[in-house]
């Protein structure tokens, strides 16, 4: 039995969960999310959600914990929201935003202008003497992670000087340079 899959999910106040024909819809104060499910039975009873699997086939067992995590992330997202923070490390690296357009100067001959999805809120923090930070906030965990990974892919942190775009709290494994 999946340890993650068998633990029940409590539904917080202000969140409604509807299950109909293999589609789970979660509504909350921040937004609405839907997800398609198959082969797992989902029961919503007096403020808790339980997931049960009909058989012990390998693919059904794999989906048991996955679907529980997806539903939990949907409920957390519409009630509290998800945030990812990216830090730009390097001389002359800058970030600014005008609405949903993110403007990055990360050492190329031109600035990178990225149009962010309307579901994701973008905020840039630039303090003197500190590295610029890009904050991404949304109710959809998958979308925030995807946008953050796309921004990070423009200039991944390199192991010698540590320059690049990294997640706040991410540890970059450093290498020694040439020995003189």
Domain ranges of the chain: 3-79, 82-167
At residue 19, does pLDDT exceed 90? yes
pLDDT tens-place string over residues 107-138: 999 999 999 999 999 999 999 999 999 999 99
| N-terminal to C-terminal alpha carbon distance within the chain | 57
Phi/psi of residue 102, nearest 5 degrees: -105, 125
Q: How far is CA 69 from the centre of its chain?
A: 13
Q: Where are the alpha helices (H) located in the chain, listed in sequence order?
A: 3-6, 58-79, 141-153
pLDDT tens-place string over residues 58-79: 999 989 999 999 999 999 999 9
3-79 and 82-167: identical CATH topology: yes
At 177, is the pLDDT very low, low, confident or very high (cuts 50, 70, 90)? confident
Decide if domain 82-167 falls under CATH 3.40.50.11720. no
CATH number of 3-79: 3.90.930.12
User: pTM of the prediction?
Assistant: 0.90
Please give the Cα distance from 157 to 167 (Å, whole number): 10
Distances (CA, A) of 70 to 11, 29, 162, 163, 178: 14, 18, 34, 34, 46
Structure tokens at 101: 């357009």
At 2, is the pLDDT very low, low, confident or very high (cuts 50, 70, 90)? low
pLDDT of 86 reads 97
């Amino acid at each position: 039995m999946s340890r993650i899959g068998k633990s029940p999910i409590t539904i917080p106040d202000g969140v409604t969960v509807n299950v109909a024909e293999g589609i789970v819809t979660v509504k909350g104060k921040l937004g609405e999310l839907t997800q398609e499910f198959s082969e797992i039975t989902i029961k919503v009873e007096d403020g808790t959600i339980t997931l049960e699997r009909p058989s012990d086939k390998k693919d059904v067992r794999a989906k048991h914990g996955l679907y529980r995590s997806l539903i939990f992330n949907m409920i957390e997202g519409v009630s509290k929201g998800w945030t990812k923070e990216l830090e730009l490390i390097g001389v002359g690296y800058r970030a600014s935003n005008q609405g949903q357009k993110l403007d990055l100067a990360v050492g190329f001959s031109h600035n990178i202008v990225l149009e962010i999805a309307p579901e994701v809120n973008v905020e840039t923090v630039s303090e003197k003497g500190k590295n610029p930070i890009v904050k991404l906030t949304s109710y959809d965990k998958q979308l925030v992670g995807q946008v953050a990974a796309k921004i990070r892919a423009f200039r991944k942190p390199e192991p010698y000087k540590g320059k690049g775009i990294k997640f706040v709290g991410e540890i970059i494994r450093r290498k020694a340079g040439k020995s003189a």
